[in-house]
Amino acid sequence: MTSGTGSAGGTSGTGGTGGTETSGSGDIVRTLELLWDTGRRPSRGPKPGLTLDRIVEAAVHVADTEGLEALSMRRVATELGTGAMSLYRYVPGKAELLDLMLDRVQRPGDPAQLGDGGWRSALEAMARATLALYRRHPWLLRINQSRPLLGPSALDGLEAVLSRIRPMGLTDSELVSAVVMVDGYVVGAARTQVYQEEAERKSGQTTAEFYAAQAPFLEKIMATGRYPVLASLAEDTWSPDFDHFEFGLQRILDGLEVLVERRRGEATARPAR
């Protein structure tokens, strides 16, 4: 469930990279109580103003600014100007905190962002919002989200997108699969973009400079005739101006459109009872 509009929400199982942390690895029941605000609340703590919301917000800030590797109960406590033990009055530990963070960053935006042009515009908006989410919170790519806990943000987002795409005329399982497919594509594209930017920061070398450094050697290789197709490609084939993300997204939606039209044709041809 990873979308700026919350729309890819029910698909977090496709998200992440099998990285340094795993969602759903804490106390499942207690985490769900915290997500849905149905469990016990802590008595007033020693630090006035400390709340679960503030703890989650501080944790997200730490992950955004310092990376997921910096996240710990002690580091979040320092961010809040309190002791680590005071945080345990609100959340059992780091594993549960991580699930609260995941749900927090997925909070749906304005439902109107999904557009009013039918299922295709809704999935397009969902995909772009999900990509933007990963760009804002790159640490999401370090989390194995194969077993997500379904909090309010995740389900709100999934409800929003499914309500928009239900007119596709697919089965319920196919509708969910369509969302999963788009979300999985976006996660892969986001990983490429975020990791590329990370490489640029760490190396001090832009991607264009990186490939330019290889150009003289590759020109010699191409001249050998070993790779005739590659050698025949236009010079602007690898231009950074080409939007690979949008190209791939539109082709996925084209494929879904073929299926939608086929189902409509089958429904029309089916004899009335």
- pLDDT tens profile 1-23: 454 444 344 444 444 444 579 99
Can you tell me the distance from the alpha carbon of 50 to that of 34, in angstroms, rounded to the nearest whole number?
15
d(CA 180, CA 1) in angstroms, rounded, equals 9
User: pLDDT tens digit string along 201-228?
Assistant: 999 999 989 999 999 999 999 999 999 9
Instruction: Give per-residue pLDDT as tens, 125-142.
Output: 999 999 999 999 999 999
105-119 pLDDT, tens digit each: 998 776 667 777 799
Query: Which domains can be identified in the chain, with CATH numbers?
Result: 20-105 (1.10.10.60)
What does the pLDDT read at residue 110?
67
Q: What is the mean pLDDT of the chain?
A: 89
Model confidence pLDDT, tens digit, residues 216-260:
999 999 999 999 999 999 988 988 889 999 999 999 999 999 999
Band (pLDDT 50/70/90 cuts) for residue 44 is: low
What confidence score (pLDDT) does residue 10 get?
A: 42
Residue from 240, 238, 242, 239 nearest 250 by CA: 242
* Prediction pTM value: 0.87
Tell me which residue of 195, 210, 138, 149 sits closest to 25, measured CA to CA: 149
| Confidence band of 29 (pLDDT split at 50, 70, 90) | very high
According to the model, what pLDDT value does residue 47 have? Answer: 67
CA-based nearest residue to 60, from 93, 100, 21, 23: 100
Give pLDDT, residue 117: 77
